[in-house]
């Protein structure tokens, strides 16, 4: 079974976090996630996250502290999800290229969204963190 290291960013702006809805046709499609992507060979985690957010959403972020690591198995692969807190640089317009939708959401409202299984652990972490 394939193992991938994946990054995810909890991108903050005005006490809200950015979430993105995966396209219906994708693997694990039609669910919400914290944006990021697969680490390329030899790439550092923070560099991967900056690159993925630039490529997928057209945004630039400051990558801050490492929040948590999540090991999760989907039917087709094992992933290690490395999660970082990020700050959106001022004036950035989000233009999703690989997602159906993006939203800024307060932590208290995250429960209303259907997240990918691994990302549900990020939601739980954020709820505890903000409690």
Q: Is the pLDDT score of 25 beyond 90?
A: no
The values of phi and psi at residue 52, to 5°, are -60, -40
**How many angstroms separate the CA atoms of 86 and 109, rounded?**
19
Residues with Cβ within 8 Å of residue 1, at least 6 apart in sequence: 73, 76, 77, 78
Residue 44, pLDDT > 60, answer yes
Task: Tell me the torsion sign for CA atoms 59, 84, 69, 43.
Answer: positive
pLDDT digits (tens, 9 = 90+) for 47-62: 999 999 999 999 999 9
77-131 pLDDT tens trace: 898 999 999 998 865 678 888 889 999 999 999 999 999 999 999 999 999 876 5
Q: Options 3.40.50.10160, 3.90.79.10, 3.40.50.150, 2.40.30.10; which CATH number does 2-130 get? A: 3.90.79.10
């Amino acid at each position: 079974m394939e193992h991938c290291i994946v990054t995810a960013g909890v991108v903050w702006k005005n006490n809200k976090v950015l979430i993105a809805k995966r396209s219906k046709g994708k693997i694990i499609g039609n669910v919400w996630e914290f944006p990021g992507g697969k680490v390329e060979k030899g790439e550092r985690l923070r560099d991967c996250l900056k690159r993925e957010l630039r490529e997928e959403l057209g945004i630039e972020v400051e990558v801050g502290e490492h929040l948590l690591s999540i090991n999760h198995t989907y039917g087709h692969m094992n992933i290690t999800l490395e999660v970082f807190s990020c700050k959106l640089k001022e004036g950035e317009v989000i233009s999703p290229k690989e997602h159906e939708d993006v939203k800024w959401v307060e932590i208290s409202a995250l429960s209303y969204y259907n997240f990918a299984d691994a990302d549900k652990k990020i939601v739980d972490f954020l709820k505890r963190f903000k409690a």
